[in-house]
Chain A
């Protein structure tokens, strides 16, 4: 955990659209001590002043790979000891939220703008696990979560 006024943030997003959306939201934590986690080292180009940790890309259809990602994400959380975990998806982000919660971090999930008809499976799981769970489509908000609090578009 950090000692001065600023919080330690772990911001997690798989490469591609999820990462794009996280970049659109970075002003929300730009002035904090933020470590990024993604599935492709190229994304470091977008965050030249921050540390980027790379984990294996995987999803629930690839259980062996997912096990690897799980171990890597756990390592990130234990090493960085964030105060806050924020993720725009996908599976690695949900894992970071689960582990973040275990160490007492505040956690928030932002479901992808691509999920316009239905919240993702990870998003539905996040409603139960994350401190806050958001959808970017107002018509998908439900009492008990996810909430609608704006969108990147």
Chain B
């Protein structure tokens, strides 16, 4: 199952339409999209506007591939679950967000995490057409996280 999510706050019709068009062209019948307040619901793939926390976690767990806006919460969940994930950043100039921080996020994400980035419908289709090339995203043992936790532990207890 391919799980598409635009997050809980803003619509992201470009991502939904791109995935819908790809699924229709490939006749891929196992796509589910959380579409938010989209202008026009997708015509081919299954969809729902919003999911509860548990429904969202369930879909993330079930998914073979996650296609998502570049929201940090979704990315962190995918890393935690070791999912194959392709993210598309919202762009300010397309009116998708008030600034370009999703673009900045994906530019700075360390490559070793395995999070895939698709900037447009074409790149998304290319990623989805070769699922065997998508790695399972993971933060690994992360020395930087251990460092931050140790710092905070010292701060809290001193």
Contact = CB atoms under 8 A, between A and B. Distances in A.
Interface of A: 7, 9, 16-17, 19-21, 24-25, 27-29, 32, 40, 42-43, 45, 84, 86, 106, 108, 110, 112-118, 132, 134, 136-137, 149-153
A112 B72 contact: yes
A124 B102 CA distance: 19
B156 A28 contact: yes
A21 B76 contact: yes
B121 interface: no
A28 to B, nearest CB: 4
A36 B71 CA distance: 23
Nearest to A61: B98
Nearest to B53: A42
B110 interface: yes
A121 B90 CA distance: 20
Contacts, number: 104
A29 B76 contact: no
B148 A136 contact: yes
A151 B148 contact: yes
A29 B156 contact: yes
B85 to A, nearest CB: 14
A17 B73 contact: yes
B126 interface: no
Given A20-B76, A116-B105, A117-B108, A32 B146 contact: no
Contact of A150 (B108, B110, B144): B144
Contacts of B39: none
Given A9-B156, A16-B71, A21-B72, 8 more contacts: A16-B8, A25-B152, A28-B152, A29-B152, A40-B53, A114-B101, A116-B104, A153-B79
A45 B53 contact: yes
22 contacts: A7-B157, A16-B73, A17-B71, A17-B73, A21-B72, A21-B76, A24-B76, A28-B148, A29-B156, A42-B52, A45-B53, A86-B152, A106-B155, A114-B72, A117-B101, A134-B151, A137-B108, A150-B145, A150-B148, A152-B76, A152-B145, A153-B142
Interface in B122-153: 139, 142, 144-153
Interface of B: 8, 52-54, 71-73, 76-77, 79, 101, 104-105, 107-110, 113, 139, 142, 144-153, 155-157
B50 to A, nearest CB: 13
Contacts of B79: 153
A126 B28 CA distance: 48
B148 A25 contact: yes
A28 B147 CA distance: 10
A116 B147 CA distance: 19
Contacts of A40: 53
B144 A20 contact: no
